[in-house]
Amino acid sequence: MTMHHLSVVRRGAVGVLVLALVVLTSAAPAGASQVWTVVPSANQGTITNFLYDVSCTSAKTCTAVGFHTATGADLALIETRNGGNWKIVPSPSPGATWNFLYGVSCATAKSCMAVGRYETFNGINRNLALSWNGKVWSTLPVINRGMYNNALTGVACVAVNFCVAVGSWSSIATGKTQTLVESWNGKTWSVVPSPSPTGPVTALNRVSCVSTRACTAVGHYEDAQNVEQTLVESWNGRAWSIVPSPDNGSYDNELTDVSCVSTTSCRAVGSATTVPAGAFGAGGINQSFVESWNGKVWTIAENPNPGTVLTTLSSVSCISAKSCTAVGSYQDAGSNLRRTLVESWNGSAWKVVSSPNPKPGTAPDNYIGGITGSGLNGVSCVSVTSCHAVGFHDNASGHDESLIVRFG
């Protein structure tokens, strides 16, 4: 089971399922201009602090999750804002080494769910679910399908007693990685059957729900030739089913996040390899793309790709059918500098919005192998005038520090 980390994340550290972070932001009203600014954030680890996702219930109340590295182990990292500055909130890390939180969703300010995975002493990856009751974070019993390589990478809560988490698991019997969907009823997690296309690897990255009877999950699957194709699955209150979705690249395609405002309006973001590795430089050309759902079909919507060799969108957040924001990163040929990327949708076109980049360090990044700079992995908007996005930036020593930017 291969895990792509949120489009800008290290692949080797996760190595269990395909995850691409797509950060979502909401577009400003027509004629207005977004001004994104860096917000001071806390750092707990001395080596790495990485934020993957964020969920806001108001303009001043947000929760961000990820991980930090301390004493040789990767531990869960949770930061919150409750009207004032961002601060770290204590959270459990049950694993011996890798404790990653990839997704978070808050139904209210006092009810949040965070999901991810951890590694045991014998190298087995297990699902991780943490719950916030307004006072403390606690570990919840969650189901693991296979003997190894389980990971939950996205979660959506529409009520305190209804959450859906998605990810993947690996079967020893078949050697295949398959989709995983679990549902929370306020007391327990249970596995919900979900389809997996024929092929060696299938994974769901993120999920969006507009009600207990309407959810959409996105990810990718590998065909018999090991080429990645987009994957969209839909929940109608009774069963999950695959919905046809287009591919944007000739080689590898993946959807990393989705945001729905109704059963007839969703936006999904992802990335595709348009030129394979070795054909242009060492890593080929990777471009972002956006897909739209109108209640009947998914179609590709044109969007900007500012990077000449790499542009990724990791997360998306929509306030309405005419107001969405997506976030990620981009990089030019011949450069080891990665920059933050914000794109907004005004109902007729996607456009790049200026986003801040803290001054990069002079040392190569220790987390993503020789690349320095900044990236955004998750975004949450509560109105057309209020969004938060989270990710990482490099300090002078080449270590990652948490990055939080805000609009409004």
Arithmetic mean of pLDDT, 60-82: 94
What pLDDT band is residue 396 in, cutting at 50, 70 and 90?
A: confident
Is 369 within a domain?
yes
pLDDT tens-digit map of 352-365 = 999 999 987 666 55
Q: Which residues of 217-239 are buried (b: 16+ CB within 10 A; e: fewer)?
A: bbbbbbeeeebbbbbbbbbeeee
User: Are 153 and 204 within 8 A, CB to CB?
Assistant: yes
Is 305 within a domain?
yes
pLDDT tens-digit map of 228-281 = 999 999 999 999 999 999 999 788 999 999 999 999 999 999 999 987 765 444
Is 289 within a domain?
yes
pLDDT greater than 70 at residue 23: no
- Percentage of the chain exceeding pLDDT 70: 88
- Distance between CA atoms of 70 and 309, rounded to whole angstroms? 33
**Residue 291, domain CATH:** 2.130.10.10
Strand partners, 283: none
Amino acid 368: pLDDT: 54
Is 194 within a domain?
yes
What pLDDT band is residue 24 in, cutting at 50, 70 and 90?
A: very low
Amino acid 47: pLDDT: 84
β 310-320/323-331 pair status = antiparallel
Record the tokens describing residue 165, joined without a space. Answer: 């988490």
Amino acid 107: pLDDT: 98
**Sign of the torsion angle spanned by Cα atoms 333, 368, 9, 202:** positive
- Average pLDDT of the residues of the chain: 88
3-state secondary structure 84-116: CCEEECCCCCCCCCCEEEEEEEEEECCEEEEEE
Amino acid 30: pLDDT: 35
Is 213 within a domain?
yes
Phi, psi of 301 (to 5 degrees): -105, 135
pLDDT greater than 70 at residue 386: yes
Is 164 within a domain?
yes
Is 8 within a domain?
no
pLDDT greater than 90 at residue 12: no
Q: Which is higher by pLDDT, 332 or 44?
A: 332
Arithmetic mean of pLDDT, 11-36: 40
Phi, psi of 296 (to 5 degrees): -130, -45
Amino acid 274: pLDDT: 83
Instruction: Please count the structural domains in the chain.
Output: 1
Is 126 within a domain?
yes
Which residues form the domain of 327?
A: 23-407
In this structure, of 11-15, 94-98, 400-404, the range with the lowest mean pLDDT score is 11-15
User: Are 54 and 79 within 8 A, CB to CB?
Assistant: no
pLDDT greater than 70 at residue 25: no
pLDDT tens-digit map of 172-201 = 888 899 999 999 999 999 999 999 998 899
pLDDT greater than 70 at residue 16: no
- Distance between CA atoms of 147 and 96, rounded to whole angstroms? 17
- Distance between CA atoms of 262 and 276, rounded to whole angstroms? 36
- Percentage of the chain exceeding pLDDT 90: 73
Tokens 């996702």, located at residue: 53
